[in-house]
Amino acid sequence: LGNNILVPLKNLSTVMKSPNDSKFCKEMTKVIWTTTELQDRSVTGTVSRRYIKCGGTARRGLTPTKLQAVGSAFKHFIFTRPTAQTPEKRFSLMNHYIGELLQGYNRRMLP
């Protein structure tokens, strides 16, 4: 995928069959990181704007090299599956989709 990130061909071909961009990004993220690695993480590693004033702390960000690997796989997915949206617009939503996945993991951790 890039940056010396390797994914088993079986997993890659399964993820490439995803029906939409959101599902692709979330599934590719789960292939590259383990469930425990994704818990208590954020895409960027910065404090959410919602919690800045009340002194919230930043969660660890995802590894940039692995995030770039997801991005390169997503670019390939975008160009093999054209839609009415421009490729740039579709690619700009990648972090949003991964953030949705991380929110789900972080909600499950709450007591």
pLDDT in single tens digits along all 111 residues of the chain: 777 888 999 999 999 999 999 999 999 999 999 988 898 888 878 777 766 777 777 788 888 999 999 999 999 999 999 999 999 999 999 999 999 999 888 776 555
Angstrom distance (rounded) from CA 103 to CA 109:
10
Looking at residue 44, its pLDDT comes to 79
Q: What is the CATH number of the domain that holds 53?
A: 1.10.10.2590
In a domain, 76, yes or no: yes
Looking at residue 110, its pLDDT comes to 53
Q: Could you say which DSSP state residue 56 is in?
A: -
Residue 87: φ, ψ to 5°? -55, -35
| Range 66-79 burial, b when 16+ CB lie within 10 A, else e | bbebbbebbeebbe
In a domain, 2, yes or no: no
In a domain, 1, yes or no: no
Looking at residue 93, its pLDDT comes to 96
In a domain, 19, yes or no: yes
In a domain, 4, yes or no: no
Angstrom distance (rounded) from CA 93 to CA 91:
5
In a domain, 48, yes or no: yes
Domain count, the chain: 1
Range of the domain at 27: 9-109
Q: List the structure tokens of 65.
A: 């090299």
